[in-house]
């Protein structure tokens, strides 16, 4: 299935990303400009950055624009909105991720739209309710028996609507997922939206599925794992580079769940002071950051295909001390890249390498 062209959709428009942003947004973190193509033929524009967003008159007229912009922001780690139109503020303040979804009185028929969400539903003992999932889900093994809906950033939302689930479990944990959340809303599919940074999401899903005891057990288990990691970590955190993608290079920023995993492992994200959940960096920036240890954990790439030598072989990075000393390791993305019940395994694997320093 071809990845959709649009970045998000509402009941009235599709948002298509433009190749550049206005000069006034040149210094704004993660800024992107969009052309809004309305179903009635009108065209509007909006520019989004992590700290401010601006819409023209046509864009501002869509009552669903604020929801779409909030989804775009959350998918990039932000938790507040400052959207303005020509006449003044359109939407300001903190973002409650839970409010981006919709209520459902029945949850016996579920669809999961991220691998981590399938794992949460499974951990809560409710996977027998799942009708279908997106293509990347591989745990629990029963996912292999279910109908597949397409790639994680471009599932067939019309097929989702045709299945008429009681609830879709969607996410805003990575950029691009706003397309799914807004698309489900435009199709009036009930959904719970997750953007995990804490255990609160597990408790929220457990409450929605009416399995609070299972939720409490999952939370208690994660708490115990966290406590064990905290006891074992070194007094001084070790500088760590975690790579989500090799070309261009992407790494987590200050607003990513992976910072907790790195910290529990005894590390400190060398780019953890930069705004956003995911950052594009250049090799020179990594050289300047000088991590003591590096982990390559590329999104959607199986552990057997992760290649630490890819990082070492990039021009300039052969001089990175961690590379020269053989401290670049593969880290299975099914743990480090999925904010769900199994993610603390990533912290344990990083901790084992950090202890070898």
Question: Do 106 and 128 reside in the same domain of the chain?
Answer: yes
Rounded Cα–Cα distance for residues 317 and 323 (Å): 7
Q: Taking Cα atoms as reference points, which of 142, 220, 149 lies closest to residue 183?
A: 149
Question: Do 91 and 114 reside in the same domain of the chain?
Answer: no
In a domain, 3, yes or no: no
Tell me the pLDDT tens digit for each residue of 1-38: 456 789 999 999 999 999 999 999 999 988 999 999 99
* Boundaries of domain holding 90: 8-95
Rg of the chain's alpha carbons, rounded to an integer?
21
Q: Verify cis geometry, omega within 30 degrees of 0, for the bond prior to 127.
A: no
Q: State which of 95, 111, 142 marks the end of a domain.
A: 95
In a domain, 261, yes or no: yes
In a domain, 228, yes or no: no
Question: Do 153 and 66 reside in the same domain of the chain?
Answer: no
Residues of the chain with pLDDT > 70, as a percent, come to 99
Question: Do 248 and 320 reside in the same domain of the chain?
Answer: yes
CB-based contact 293:240 (threshold 8 Å) = yes
In a domain, 204, yes or no: yes
Q: State which of 70, 95, 120 marks the end of a domain.
A: 95
Q: How many domains does the chain have?
A: 3
Q: Taking Cα atoms as reference points, which of 278, 335, 343 lies closest to residue 74?
A: 278
Tell me the pLDDT tens digit for each residue of 318-344: 899 999 899 999 999 999 999 889 999
Asked if the model's pLDDT at residue 180 lies above 90, the reply is: yes
Question: Do 25 and 107 reside in the same domain of the chain?
Answer: no
Question: Do 146 and 63 reside in the same domain of the chain?
Answer: no
In a domain, 314, yes or no: yes
The confidence score (pLDDT) of residue 53 equals: 98
Question: Do 29 and 54 reside in the same domain of the chain?
Answer: yes
Rounded Cα–Cα distance for residues 52 and 338 (Å): 28
Q: Tokens 């708490």 belong to which residue?
A: 223
Question: Do 107 and 179 reside in the same domain of the chain?
Answer: yes
The confidence score (pLDDT) of residue 104 equals: 84
The confidence score (pLDDT) of residue 4 equals: 78
Mean pLDDT of 134-159: 95
Burial class (CB in 10 A: 0-12, 13-18, 19+), 213: exposed
Asked if the model's pLDDT at residue 198 lies above 70, the reply is: no
Asked if the model's pLDDT at residue 276 lies above 90, the reply is: no
Q: Per DSSP, which regions of 64-190 are E strands?
A: 80-85, 88-94, 110-112, 130-133, 167-171
Rounded Cα–Cα distance for residues 105 and 190 (Å): 10
Question: Do 60 and 152 reside in the same domain of the chain?
Answer: no
The confidence score (pLDDT) of residue 3 equals: 66
The confidence score (pLDDT) of residue 202 equals: 85
CATH code of residue 245: 3.40.50.1980
Mean pLDDT of 70-85: 96
In a domain, 89, yes or no: yes
Asked if the model's pLDDT at residue 203 lies above 80, the reply is: yes
Tell me the pLDDT tens digit for each residue of 206-248: 999 999 999 999 999 999 999 999 999 999 999 999 999 999 9
In a domain, 78, yes or no: yes
pLDDT, the chain, mean: 94
In a domain, 143, yes or no: yes
């Amino acid at each position: 299935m071809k990845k959709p062209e649009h970045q998000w959709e509402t009941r009235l428009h599709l948002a298509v990303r433009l190749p550049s942003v206005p000069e006034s947004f040149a210094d704004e973190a993660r800024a992107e400009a969009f052309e809004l193509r309305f179903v009635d033929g009108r065209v509007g524009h909006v520019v989004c950055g992590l700290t401010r967003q601006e819409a023209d008159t046509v864009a501002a007229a869509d009552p669903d624009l604020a929801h779409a912009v909030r989804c775009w922001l959350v998918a990039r780690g932000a938790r507040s909105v400052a959207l303005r139109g020509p006449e003044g503020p359109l939407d300001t303040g903190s973002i409650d991720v839970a409010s981006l979804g919709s209520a459902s009185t029945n949850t016996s028929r579920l669809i999961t739209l991220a691998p981590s969400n399938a794992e949460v539903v499974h951990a809560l003992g409710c996977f027998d309710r799942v009708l279908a999932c997106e293509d990347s889900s591989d745990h629990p093994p029963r996912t292999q028996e279910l109908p597949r809906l397409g790639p994680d950033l471009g599932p067939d939302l019309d097929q989702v609507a045709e299945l008429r689930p009681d609830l879709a479990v969607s996410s805003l944990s990575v950029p691009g997922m706003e397309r799914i959340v807004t698309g489900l809303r435009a199709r009036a599919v009930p959904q719970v939206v997750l953007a995990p940074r804490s255990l609160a999401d597990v408790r929220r899903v457990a409450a929605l599925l009416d399995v609070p005891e299972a939720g409490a057990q999952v939370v208690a288990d994660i708490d115990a794992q966290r406590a064990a990691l905290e006891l074992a970590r070194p007094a001084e955190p070790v500088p760590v580079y975690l790579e989500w993608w090799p070309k261009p290079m992407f790494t987590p920023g200050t607003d990513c769940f992976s910072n907790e995993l790195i910290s529990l492992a005894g590390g400190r994200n060398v780019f953890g002071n930069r705004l956003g959940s995911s950052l594009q960096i250049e090799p020179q920036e990594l050289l300047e950051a000088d991590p003591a240890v590096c982990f390559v954990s590329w999104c959607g790439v199986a552990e057997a295909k992760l290649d630490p030598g890819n990082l070492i072989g990039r021009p300039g990075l052969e001089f990175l001390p961690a590379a020269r000393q053989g401290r670049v390791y593969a880290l299975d993305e099914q743990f480090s890249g999925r904010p769900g019940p199994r993610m603390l395994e990533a912290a344990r694997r990083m901790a084992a390498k950090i202890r070898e320093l």
